[in-house]
Copies of this chain bind each other. A is one copy, B any other.
Amino acid sequence: MESTRERLIAAAAELLDRGGPAAVTLRDVGRAAGVSHNAPYRHFADKDALLAAVAARELARQGANLDQVGASAADVQAMLQGYVRWALRYPERFRLTFGRWERENAELGSAAGGARNALRRAVAAAQARGELPPGDPERLSALLLALAHGAADQALAGHLSATGKGAADAEDLVADLFAYLRPSVR
């Protein structure tokens, strides 16, 4: 049995996918969940809190995927490319998740932290195998995630020329970075 709270979050996520944050009106959310237009206020402080709950749900799902990743550089690459695919498939959730509010919302902050930790562990394991350059894994993780994040955002904004000789989609850029990082055989 789905709680009203869960139905509200699901309805908000669907409206978000369809038309961005502006399309998430409390009236439509209520209608889709079968309650009145201000029933959401019994579960969330305001509209922003409802959107934050959508973001937290998304981040928790991402974290669950990341936990089962392997220890090779190829596994880390696949993890980041999976992240890029998710961003391209659900642009609005991607943009929402990396908005403003992690300072304010504890649930969101810890969900994001968990995902970052999973990536850092995988990077450290690949470094131990000599498949990624040495150095602080936290810092190398940040570099990898920043590239995946930026490549996805550029692709969504239409900034990646998908044709021509220099054509590269967001996943190609992730692959390029891993190729540059591969320690040369000495």
- Complex contacts, A165 vs chain B, CB 8 Å: 136, 138
Interface residues of A in 138-169 (CB under 8 A from B): 138-143, 145-151, 153-154, 157-161, 164-168
Interface residues of A in 11-38 (CB under 8 A from B): none
Closest to A140 in B: B176
Measured in the bound complex, the distance between the Cα atoms of B158 and A109 in whole Å is 9
Contact partner, A149, options B109, B142, B153, Cβ 8 Å: B153
Closest to A115 in B: B159
Closest to A168 in B: B139
Binds B, one of A1-9, A62-70, A71-79, A177-185: A177-185
* A153 with B153, Cβ < 8 A, contacts A138-B165, A146-B173, A168-B139 known: yes
- Complex contacts, A109 vs chain B, CB 8 Å: 158
Quick check: is A114 within 8 A (CB to CB) of the other chain? no
Q: Known contacts A142-B173, A143-B177; can you find 19 more A-B pairs with CB under 8 A?
A: A99-B157, A100-B157, A102-B157, A109-B158, A116-B159, A136-B165, A138-B164, A138-B166, A138-B168, A139-B172, A139-B176, A141-B166, A142-B151, A143-B176, A146-B147, A148-B150, A149-B150, A149-B153, A184-B184
Closest to A120 in B: B166
> Are A149 and B154 touching (Cβ within 8 A)?
yes
Quick check: is A86 within 8 A (CB to CB) of the other chain? no
Quick check: is A103 within 8 A (CB to CB) of the other chain? yes
- Complex contacts, A116 vs chain B, CB 8 Å: 159
- Expressed in whole angstroms, the minimum distance between the Cβ of A69 and any Cβ of chain B is 19
Interface residues of A in 68-100 (CB under 8 A from B): 98-100
Q: Among A146, A151, A180, which residue has the most Cβ atoms of chain B within 10 A?
A: A146
